[in-house]
Structure 1
Amino acid sequence: MYRVWSYVADYSLLLIGGAVIALFWANAAPESYHALVHFPLWTGGPIGALETHSGSLLRVVTLHFLFNDVLMAFFFAIAAKEVWEAVILREGALRGRKALTPLIATAGGMAGPVVIYLCLAVALGVLEETSRGWAIPTATDIAFSYLVGRVVFGARHPAIGFLLLLAIADDAGGLAILAIFYPSADVAPHWLLLSLAAAFAVYFLANALPRRLDRGDQDRPHSTWMRKTLGFWPWAVAGAASWYGFQMAGLHPALGLLPIVPTIPHAEREFGIFAEEEGCQTDLLNIIEHGLKVPVQFVLFGFGLLNAGVEFSAISEPTWLVLLGLTIGKPLGIIVFGLLAAYPLRLGLPAGMAVRDLLVVGFVAAIGFTVALFVASVAFPGGAVQDAAKMGALFSLGSAVIAITAGRVFGVHRSA
């Protein structure tokens, strides 16, 4: 359990702390809270959200933009690192036939919430004003879901591995949705050439070329010089260029580091997101992740503080659309698609995992929280609808209680 608590402490407890402070602050003194959120740090620079000042369109960096659009890029880079390793490395979690059932269940876990969300929006007559929020309940908070999964199933239950596969694939789908369906401005795709050029240049000059020059030389002088002398700096420069390319292309700049992650030298095999061996990896990709751990803790605190400040009076239809999309649509989609994969498609479930376990996994995966909160902040402009949707993302933490209760009701056998 140490690594579970360590991961949750690293990436979630400060987020919750920021969210709790924001809730109290926004309900006790809303004017001062919103003044903090929109406090301008830099006006008229090359980066920032476009705003009209004195008749001119200028870029403004507020605290909200700094955390949501700039610093959250490091959080999504860590998520992308886990997805990349799961796909590309030996023993990767998303390689081969073993990943097919969780992947198909993930598709259901993303489709189910969308169907429930949109159907409820039509039934309540609010489709026009809430339709952009369809992707909010597709999210799964991997850290909290894993923690609750360990409480329900124990440490060695095969459903834990299934849950991790599902959560990693869900992260990948969520990143794709953000990039495709939620551009931050009018799309100018030619700016993506800057991101691609930065990725190709740093991969060739700082990764592939040194290895090619070292071919046949066991001392590897060029790769060693690159690692010891330049370290992560070539990728930092490439990351800044890629981030700027995403901003100017109109895509959400928080995803701007994604093209750079696959270019970083990585280990030859993947041990898993919570495996103890991950902490001993000395490849540059893992070294960068370890270096980002503490800064990302404070980024998530700031993200929670600047995004979760919702007045309780904002609770309305979008709150229930998001919450029910997660608590009903997510389990329903996972169980339907999971059973379809396991039986009609004859892909099966992991040995030792029963149908009741699949259902409980669906409830565990319904904890949206971090990514759901982020998607809500980009799906709607600031205002009542966004606040209501954010409240639904916050309420999704209650799925932990539903999952633990479901585990007991369905007689899940814990594996120590």
Structure 2
Amino acid sequence: MYRVWNFVTNYSLLLIIGALIALVWANINPDGYHHFVEFELIHDFIIGHAHYNEAGQVEYRSLTLHYLVNDVLMAFFFAIAAKEVWEAIILENGSLRGKKAATPLVATAGGMFGPIAVYLGLAMFLGSDTYDAVARGWAIPTATDIAFSYLVGRLVFGAGHPAVRFLLLLAIADDAAGLIILAIFYPSGELAPEWLMLSVGAAVAVYFLANWLPRRLDRGKQARPNSTWARNTLSFWPYLIAGALSWYGFQEAGIHPALGLLPIVPTIPHADRAFGIFSEAEQYLSDLLNHIEHILKHPVEVVLFFFGLLNAGVEFSSIGSPTWLVLAGLLVGKPFGVLLFGWIAAKPLGLGLPKGMRIIDLFVIGCVAAIGFTVSLFIASVAFTGDAMLGDIPVKDAAKMGALFSFAAAIIAIVAGKVTGVVKQEN
């Protein structure tokens, strides 16, 4: 297994720092914090085509700091995640190809259905008022934070244990499913699917003009002059322009625009083989897709700091039923879902486990994967409106607190590893 690059560590640290500052700030000076989050960068302008209210007047909106980070800049984070998923699926030695990925993928399904069942089941048990208030957040506990899970997984199993690779596969597949859930179940506005044709058209056009056509013209030419010219002269600019058009298409289609770069990722020239998810070895590759990822690495780390800062600021007085439902979904549903579905894949279905892994390791992996944080926070921020209340508790803030408390899964995972006799493998 190739070593995972330090982007994961830096991303984790900056995200935590941003989240801790937000928590302290929101509880010491909540008015000041929320004023900062909703700070207007541009006042009264139109994003996209004009929208009209019932009186026939044009509705204006403000470009806030929160919108800039969550809807615009987070698109680059999701693009990096999509790049890793894309390579894992299509490239030679891709982690999500063939039988070796079968058991982790089945376990991933368990790690999503389990939390949903626990979250909605407990919500129904608490009564119809609670269920009606929180049902829209069913996807919040399905997420697994890739970076934090990887770091805790290394702590529990050791860097060389096959369970760490299994965990990475599960986490990246989980986030891929999370992107699909966001796109389908959490539209950002009134759906206008015809605008997706702009995204599709931008992706097709940039692939044809900047990728396929130069390679076609280079057939039989060992020096590859056209492809070389496109790489050196045009570089990433055609894909950036196409990405902007695709983002606009998602925005106008009513799908969360943070996913707007996803159709462009597969169009970018890529390496011919995969080295593993977030592999450090990829820094030595010269293909344009990895080059773009390296350019984005440090800016995305800064974006994630601001994401934590602008989304994790929740007052402790907001703790309520949604908090415990999200936490139960993650801490109970995730481990038992991964264990059950992983066992079904490994034993009854005969797909097996990686050499050196035990069935009980699946439970420990599920405990590690219960750290939802980044994507859970993101889903919580789009699942509920700011005025959704359960009694006198804001549902969105309470659900976010559950995502933040999921860090408790790290302690549970360490204890579970000790109790189940996990033997750390460092090499």
Tell me the TM-score normalized by structure 2. Answer: 0.94
Hey, what does 1:121 align to over in structure 2? 123
Contact 2:79 2:262 in 1 (8 A): yes
- 1:109 deviation in Å? 0.3
Q: Deviations over 1:320-367 (max 9, x none)?
A: 010110000001110000001111111111111101211100101100
CA distance in 1, matches of 2:300, 2:152: 22
Q: Alignment partner for residue 412 of structure 2, among 398, 402, 407?
A: 402
Contact 1:102 1:162 in 2 (8 A): yes
Hey, what does 2:17 align to over in structure 1? 17
Contact 1:192 1:245 in 2 (8 A): yes
What stretches of structure 1 of length at least 5 have no aligned partner?
none
Contact 2:2 2:275 in 1 (8 A): no
Q: Structure 1 residues 2 and 271 mapped into 2: Cα distance closer, same or farther (>3 Å)?
A: closer
Tell me the secondary structure at the aligned position of residue 61 of structure 1: strand
Tell me the secondary structure at the aligned position of residue 184 of structure 1: coil
Tell me the TM-score normalized by structure 1. Answer: 0.97
Contact 1:112 1:325 in 2 (8 A): yes
Describe how 1:117-266 pairs up with structure 2 within 5 A: 117-125=119-127, 126-266=130-270
Identity, in percent, stands at 68
Q: Structure 1 residues 217 and 15 mapped into 2: Cα distance closer, same or farther (>3 Å)?
A: same
- 1:3 deviation in Å? 5.6
Q: Alignment partner for residue 358 of structure 1, among 348, 358, 362?
A: 362
Describe how 1:328-339 pairs up with structure 2 within 5 A: 328-339=332-343
- 1:60 deviation in Å? 2.3
* 5-14 vs 404-413, which moves further: 5-14
- 1:398 deviation in Å? 1.1
Q: Alignment partner for residue 72 of structure 1, among 71, 74, 84?
A: 74
- One-letter amino acid of the counterpart of residue 212, structure 2: A
Tell me the secondary structure at the aligned position of residue 218 of structure 1: coil
Tell me the secondary structure at the aligned position of residue 367 of structure 1: coil
Q: Structure 1 residues 11 and 4 mapped into 2: Cα distance closer, same or farther (>3 Å)?
A: same
CA distance in 2, matches of 1:361, 1:105: 10
CA distance in 2, matches of 1:48, 1:320: 41
Q: Deviations over 1:134-158 (max 9, x none)?
A: 0000000011111111111112111
1:103 aligned to 2:113? Answer: no
CA distance in 2, matches of 1:275, 1:49: 44
- 1:161 deviation in Å? 1.4
What stretches of structure 2 of length at least 5 have no aligned partner?
388-393
- 1:171 deviation in Å? 1.1
- 1:7 deviation in Å? 2.9
Contact 2:74 2:303 in 1 (8 A): yes
- One-letter amino acid of the counterpart of residue 41, structure 1: L
Hey, what does 2:391 align to over in structure 1? none
CA distance in 2, matches of 1:51, 1:58: 9
- One-letter amino acid of the counterpart of residue 169, structure 2: L
CA distance in 2, matches of 1:396, 1:320: 10
Q: Alignment partner for residue 388 of structure 1, among 385, 398, 403?
A: 398
Tell me the secondary structure at the aligned position of residue 60 of structure 2: strand
Contact 2:2 2:280 in 1 (8 A): no
After TM superposition, the runs of 4+ consecutive aligned structure 1 residues lying more than 4 A away are 1-5, 47-52
CA distance in 1, matches of 2:321, 2:270: 45
